[in-house]
Amino acid sequence: MAEFFADRPGGRPGLAVFLTGGDPPPDRLADLVTLLDERGVDCLELAVPFPDSVTDGPVLRRSARRALRRGTGLADVLAFVARVRPRLRRLRIALLADWSHSVRPVGDAEFVRRVAGSGADAVLVHALPPRLRERHLALAADADLPVVTTCYATSPPPVRAAAARDATAYVYLVAAYGRSGTAPAGGYAGLRAAVGDVRAAGRAPVAVGFGVRTRADLLQIGATGADAAVVGTAAVSAVERAERTGRDVLAGFDTFLRSMAIVDQPSEEGTHR
């Protein structure tokens, strides 16, 4: 099993960043992935774009639409993973794909085979039907493909326990009901009990996401005992903002990462200075 969010210096929380495959286009996206690796980010949650996700806010929906307009599909994203993964030193890639849009058309067994063959470190299937969960987990285990599971912080205890039990990569603990970009009304400090329950019920790391935008958010999440924070809407917004204003996307994204203030500083040998 790949170790996610291990060996963070100074006990600081790990960091996962969400981006959409195909947004920005592959060559620019490859540069962003290299930058994430250089800055010590732990995980890239790379989504196969799909339309009109009910759990995504407007920023992620726009990103998916841009990628879909470029013709990006499952094969393209897997080819991208196969291209960039061998050169990464720290960064791991968890592939996110929607059941109806990307998995069902090819079949779960073939999907798992392709994802494992791409070199992805883990898989997260969005909207996986509960009746198919056991088979999906078995297929992934047979392929040595770690699985990311999800649950809400407010999910019933048996649901949280199942997510913890079944995760072989990490548990994505969703901080608040609503669409992506929505933060919990009382902040992240109130998640300590939920994080503890999930951790006690399984062995996989716990990553907290939804609405994470600032260094203060990351530190609050770390204080709950979570292993990592997931930054999605804020990361995609940084890409979108740079493209909209005509600024270099790489420079704009680097500024965003520096604002989080927990990523590694560039080395003199870095390629994106």
pLDDT tens string 186-210:
789 999 999 999 999 999 999 999 9
The pLDDT of residue 98 is 98
Alpha helix (H) residue ranges in 124-230: 133-142, 157-166, 192-201, 215-223
The pLDDT of residue 134 is 98
Task: Express as a percent the part of the chain with pLDDT over 70.
Answer: 91
Pick the residue with more confidence: 70 or 181?
70
The pLDDT of residue 269 is 45
Which one is catalytic: 42, 56, 121, 254?
56
Q: How many residues does the chain have?
A: 273
Pairing of the two strands 206-209 and 92-98: unpaired
Q: pLDDT tier at 246 (50, 70, 90 boundaries)? A: confident
Q: What is the mean pLDDT of the chain?
A: 92
CB contact at 8 A, 256 and 31: no
How many angstroms separate the CA atoms of 104 and 167, rounded? 21
pTM as predicted: 0.93
Per-residue pLDDT at 268 exceeds 50: no
Which one is catalytic: 31, 42, 45, 121?
45
The pLDDT of residue 184 is 72
Task: Express as a percent the part of the chain with pLDDT over 90.
Answer: 81
Q: pLDDT tier at 4 (50, 70, 90 boundaries)? A: very high
Per-residue pLDDT at 272 exceeds 70: no
Burial of 265 (0-12, 13-18, 19+ CB in 10 A): exposed
How many angstroms separate the CA atoms of 76 and 60, rounded? 19
The pLDDT of residue 169 is 98
CB contact at 8 A, 238 and 24: no
Q: pLDDT tier at 262 (50, 70, 90 boundaries)? A: low
Ordered by where they begin, the domains of the chain are: 13-260 (3.20.20.70)
Specify the DSSP element, H or E, that contains 153: none
| Cα within 13 Å of Cα(3), Cβ side | 4
Active site residue 45: yes
